[in-house]
Every structure is written in C-alpha cells, then in structure tokens.
Homo-oligomer: A and B are copies of this chain.
C-alpha cells in the first residue's frame, strides 16, 4: 500500500489504545494523519504516536469526514456511530458495544474472508482471538462437536483501573491494611472471581455469552455448543484458557501436534512443559498452546491450555490487521 490513510482512534489513551498506536507504527500501517480521540474531558491528555505527542481531542466535536478509518475502543452512543456512518468511514470496533448485525466479527488469521464488502468490523473478546486461532487450526485435522472453556481473564481487560486495583488490593493485604474493593465487587487479590462481567437473567455473564457467540461466528459454526466460564483472575496481563474439546472422531495426537506446530500464528510449547500468561504470552504476537492431551477415558476428547496477551495479541494486533483488511485496495 503506497497510499496513506487518515485515521481516528476513539479511546486512544487507554491500555489498548496505547498498544494499538504502537502496533500501527510497528506494522508500518499507512497512517497519514492520526487523530487521538476520547470521550469526556480531554483537557491536557496526550497520546504518543511515532515518537510524537498528539493532543487528544473530544469525540463530540470531531468531524469524522476528516478520516478514512475509525478504531472504536470505548462504547459510543448511537448518535456518534450515526455520524461516523454518515461520514462514510470504515470502522473497527473493539468496544463490544456494536450490535452483531451492524458488522461481522473477524479474527484476521481465522475468517478474513468474512470481510467481503463490509466497511465495519467487530474485533472479538481477546480470549476469542486466542481460542479461535487454535480451534481453526485444529479444525484442519478434527471435527469439533463441543467446546468447554474456562477463561481466566487478566485484570488489564478492565483497563488501567483493573491493574491499579489489583496492585492496590495486593499491597493493602500484604501490609495488613483494610481492603477497599472499588472496581471489582470484592477481593480480587489472592482470589478468583467466578465471573468477569455482569450476569444476565439466564445466569450467563455478558462476557460468556459474548465469547460463545463470537467464537461460533468467527468459526462459522453458530450452532457449535460452547460452554464458557469467564473467571476474573489476579493476573495483570495475559488470558489463560483451559479448554476441553469433544470431537466427532478419536483424536490422533501426533497429527494434532504436527498441525499445531505448522500454524504460523501459534507457538506450541513442548509436551512436559507449559506456557503461562506472564512467562510466555506477555508482549507477544503469538498464541501459546500447551498441555495437549486426549481424554483419560474418551479418545474423542482433547484437552489443552492456551495463554495469550489480551491487550497486544487479543486486542491491538487484531484491530490493526482488521484495519489492513478494510483498507486493502480491491483486486
């Protein structure tokens, strides 16, 4: 692409915003002018891009006709979305607030063909980016019948506030000071919370419904049963997923391992070892897979462990790659 594009990033000063600006630079995305936007009071806020400081502008007054592509990292009101649409911008949504019918959900290495003529795309939950990458690879050698996943999510999924709260609570406990939960509804330090988002009337949490729905959409298997529990873990960065798959046929382990080794987006950690969020995934563009093992009694069962950087790999990198797909000149 020799052409360059003017771009707006809504929510540029958050954790994902920072990582997104870094990924745009690293991947030499053909950015002409970059506008860093945020909701609310932006006075004095600054975002760094290509070693320059950009003044953050308010979303409210921004004229979207000035840009070709908008990244949405925080939920926007319908009126704002209407302004972006009226301006004819391409859009990548990471806020999770855009309804499914407004834009397809895409993981760049899994279902890029879904982009088609779409001008707006949704980037899924970071855990879905990791899980879909692994399952799409495995689908080359096995047929999935059921997916059960316990997704232990990092507090950075709740932005800087999540990180600050885990650090603050941990220090309070180690120093025997009174614990004061603020962002999370109870003690997250040295504890696991049985959900990472609000629960809906049917008992499923919002993230769990989103994980199952987005995974089915990205894999093109909306009727695949997905049992998901999204746990909030006392981990700063990196999602860890314990996955159990039921397949239509007995699993051939050497074939599965070979298939995982061949996938350029995955890093399989050898049997006997295992990857972790902190030790392996942090800051990486790869999804880490390990502990690959068939069932103890059921040869059609396959279990594995996934670790992936939720901010970089699961959010910023996929968003930039979706932007590349949207701006690719037609053949």
Question: What residues of chain B lie closer than 8 Å to A194, measured between beta carbons?
Answer: 240, 242, 274-276, 290-291, 305, 307
Closest to A298 in B: B225
A209 to B297 CA separation, bound complex (whole angstroms): 11
Q: Tell me, yes or no, whether A114 is within 8 Å of chain B by CB.
A: no
A297 touches which one: B187, B190, B225, B231 (CB < 8 A)? Answer: B225
**Listed stretches A25-33, A39-47, A196-204; interface member:** A196-204
Q: Tell me, yes or no, whether A227 is within 8 Å of chain B by CB.
A: yes
Contact present for B276 and A152 (CB under 8 Å): no
A residues touching B (Cβ–Cβ < 8 Å)? Answer: 146, 148, 150, 152, 166-167, 170-171, 174, 186-187, 190-195, 199, 202-204, 208-209, 212, 223-227, 229, 231, 233-236, 240, 242, 244, 246, 271-272, 274-279, 290-298, 301, 303, 305, 307
Contact present for B190 and A235 (CB under 8 Å): yes
Contact present for B190 and A291 (CB under 8 Å): no
Contact present for B152 and A291 (CB under 8 Å): no
Contact present for B234 and A152 (CB under 8 Å): no
Question: What residues of chain B lie closer than 8 Å to A293, measured between beta carbons?
Answer: 202-204
Closest to A191 in B: B278
Number of copies: 2
Contact present for A148 and B227 (CB under 8 Å): yes
A193 touches which one: B148, B171, B186, B276 (CB < 8 A)? Answer: B276
Contact present for B297 and A203 (CB under 8 Å): no
Question: What residues of chain B lie closer than 8 Å to A235, measured between beta carbons?
Answer: 190-192, 234
Known: A225-B301, A227-B244, A301-B225. A274 touches B195 (CB 8 A): yes
A235 to B233 CA separation, bound complex (whole angstroms): 10
Pull 10 A–B residue pairs with CB atoms less than 8 Å apart, ordered by A. A146-B246, A146-B298, A152-B192, A170-B174, A191-B235, A191-B277, A194-B276, A203-B271, A224-B297, A226-B297
A296 touches which one: B195, B209, B246, B279 (CB < 8 A)? Answer: B209
Question: What residues of chain B lie closer than 8 Å to A150, measured between beta carbons?
Answer: 150, 229, 242
Would you give the shortest CB distance from A127 to chain B, in whole angstroms?
13
Question: What residues of chain B lie closer than 8 Å to A246, measured between beta carbons?
Answer: 146
Question: What residues of chain B lie closer than 8 Å to A195, measured between beta carbons?
Answer: 274, 291
